[in-house]
Every structure is written in structure tokens, then in C-alpha cells.
Structure 1
């Protein structure tokens, strides 16, 4: 079965303890998810690994790529499938030397075509643009227009990830502009109806768009 031209990329909330593994399981059972990013802040390495390992096992069971945010050492320790780096994190070259070629490395490029080109030429496996919409997940400083996705899709074969405040109600222009992945967090985990309902909504939209 051919996957949709644009796929879903889930990003964790900052709190991945408690019943979060059950929520992740239900999200994966609701529809196809290409990748899951483990994004926690300000916790010690052993705690991070303890939280990450059962989530990675769930990802492995569902054939979902497990991506670690920012933490090269953690990605190496738990043998993550991918690493996501911001502009202020460890450099791409350094991360690649430690993790090897099999690990997929993505780079936050905000609203910058220059940063995206640098990342692509430096060997990034994907570039992330955003925030396209206001978001409570992190402070919104950069807000690109959808034209950056159109430009990238015509210029480069490296996939693009659209991020920032994305919901089933506002994602259509991003898909139409050529985003390869929709990175979603709050609209999945914060809904009172549970993550499965929102994942099903995204699945319907992405399937019809392919």
C-alpha cells in the first residue's frame, strides 16, 4: 500500500509519564503515523532514557520511526531511528559523526530558506519549517508562509516537515503547498476526545489528499 504523499509526524508533550504510553498506543492504532518525536526538557539522562524506552518499543511494534529531540547522547543510548536538532543544538556534522548514516537527522529551519539550504547541503534528512500557526507548545517567534513549502518542494528532494499549531481544520494549505510531513502535538494530545479521534481526522484528510 502506497503511503500518502504527506504523512503524520507526532511530537510528544513534555510530560510522557503516567498514562501517556497508552495514549500513544491508541494514537498509532487510529491511523498510520510515520514518525514520533520524543521531546522532553530539563530532566536527567537516566530519567529520559527510562521514559523513552517503552515509547520506543511501542513505535517499533507499529513501525513508527522514533526520533529524539535535541539529545544526541540519548539518541545514541537508546538506538533511536532519528534525531531532531534546532539551530541552537549540537551541530549536524557532530551528530552525524556520533550516530552514523543510518540515523535520520532533521533540522529546524524556522522561516529561513538559507538555513534550509545549508541543512540540505550539510546532509540533513529533512528540514522543518514553522510555526505556521500560533501554538502553545513553544514560543512562536518565526511564522513562515506556505510559499516556503512550495519553494522547497520544487528545489529539493529532501522532505519538508511543517510544524506549529497544525490541526485538522487548518492543515489543508500545508498539504497543498507540498509539505511531506505534518508535525503535530497539541491538537492530538490536548483534545478532550482523546488522541485517536484527531489522528483519524488527520488520516482521512491525508488519504484524500494523496
Structure 2
């Protein structure tokens, strides 16, 4: 039996300018969210930092962990709560050395418990499996299976995040399989009734 219930882990859309800070504020006001991952592409670190700062403040006000995608340097610059590393984004031990003992370090592990075990042994705080469902947020090179989550949950206490095309309608099997977090992007930002309603729907399921 898990000590903590499954929680929501939001991933930003790639465009976080304009009125996105207000959208994020509305979403985080709608119900509990454990973490928010800042994921922007093709902008330099200075621009990324400028985009991140208002979002980081909103997350702090709602007690939501602020995680930077891919960039240990940006995470350090922002004094973010942590960093999420893809398989090609650097070494967990080096990230730990740079960011310190309290940083939350997560690693993308696709559908591989072997990669997840390597990440955990290197000191990762969580591992991420996916994609579980078709997604338009990013190109899917790896499809993950429920069995991967179930077996991981049975053999280790390192938390696992399920990611990829997750919606309030299809998430229950992942929760039942033992996922500790549901990482969601399009399922919230593109929800037909708006992000706040999506957050409420996810939290109704997780309750």
C-alpha cells in the first residue's frame, strides 16, 4: 500500500508568454498540484529565465514545486526546486553536484525499468515512464505499458511519474497500477472546458 496518493504533475505548454501566467494562476487555484515543469524550446537562457520568473512566483504562492526541463544551468540560475533530465540531457550525479542535495531530479526512462533502476541508483528522486497514450505535445518514440508501472511500484520506493496523452478519462488504470504522479500537459491546457476544470476533474479522480 502506497504511503501517498497519486498526485498531479503539470507540464507547461511550449508557449508560456502572453496571458499564460494568468492561465497558470487560475489552474493552480482550482485544486492541488504537486509540481509544475517549465518546458520551453528554442529560446536562450536569458529569455527562458525571464519567462520562468513570473511562473515560478505563482508556483511558490501555491506551494507547487517548480521543475526545469532539460537545463541544469537554468535550474541553478533560477534556484528552481529541481530539474527533469531526458536520456540525453546530462548525468544525475553531475546535476546533483550542481544543484545540491535538496533539488528534485527526475529522469525520463521511456518504458525501461533498467534505465529507471540506473537513474535511481545514480540518485534520481523520481523516474518517468511514457508515453502511455497518443499525444500531440511531442513526438512519441517510445510507448510505455501499464505493466512497467506495476512492476516498478512493487520493487522500489522511488516514485514514478506516468506521462503521455493522459486525460481525466483515461488516467484511472495508471493510478490503479501504482503511478505516484500523473504528468499532464495537453490534457489540462487543451481541455475543452479550460485548464481549471481539467484540474478539478483530475483531482476528483485522484481523491
TM category (shorter chain) comes to over 0.9
Shift of 1:193: 2.1
State the match for 2:5 in structure 1.
Answer: 5
Q: Deviations over 1:83-105 (max 9, x none)?
A: 00000111111111111111000
Name the counterpart of 1:98.
98
Q: Which runs of 5+ in 2 are unaligned?
A: none
CA–CA distance in structure 1, aligned partners of residues 82 and 182 of structure 2 = 16
C-alpha distance in structure 1 between counterparts of 2:22 and 2:80, whole Å: 20
Which residue of 2 is the match for residue 118 of structure 1?
A: 118
- Counterparts of 2:203 and 2:87, CA distance in 1: 31
- After TM superposition, give the deviation of residue 187 of structure 1 in Å: 1.2
Q: CA offset at residue 191 of structure 1?
A: 2.3
Deviations 1:42-87 (A, max 9, x none): 1011100000011000000000000000011110001000100000
Other structure's SS at 1:84 match: strand
Match of 2:50 in 1: 50
In structure 1, the residue matched to 2:82 is 82
The aligned counterpart of 1:147 is 147
Q: Which whole-Å CA distance do the structure 1 matches of 2:58 and 2:183 have between them? A: 19
Q: Would you say the 8 A contact 1:68–1:75 is kept in 2?
A: yes
- Tell me the equivalent position of 2:19: 19
> Take 2:201 and 2:148, find their aligned partners in 1: how far apart are those partners?
25
SS in 2 for 1:77: helix
Measure, in 1, the Cα distance between the counterparts of 2:120 and 2:4.
23
Matched, 1:36 2:36: yes
Task: Give distance in 1, aligned partners of 2:191 and 2:166.
Answer: 13
Give the SS at the match of 1:13. Answer: coil
More divergent stretch after superposition (183-192 vs 25-34): 183-192
Q: Which runs of 4+ in 1 moved over 6 A?
A: none
Give the structure-1-normalised TM-score: 0.96
Work out whether 1:191 is the aligned partner of 2:191: yes
Q: Tell me the equivalent position of 2:131.
A: 131
Q: CA RMSD in A?
A: 1.0
Where structure 1 has 5 or more consecutive residues not aligned to the other structure, the ranges are: none
3-state SS of the aligned residue for 1:110?
coil
TM-score, normalised relative to structure 2? 0.97
What is the number of residues matched between the two proteins? 205
- Cα distance, 1:192 vs. partner? 3.7
Distance in 2 of aligned mates of 1:200 and 1:59: 17
Q: CA deviation at 1:200?
A: 0.4
Single out whichever of 89-98 and 66-75 deviates more from structure 2: 89-98
2:178 aligns with 178
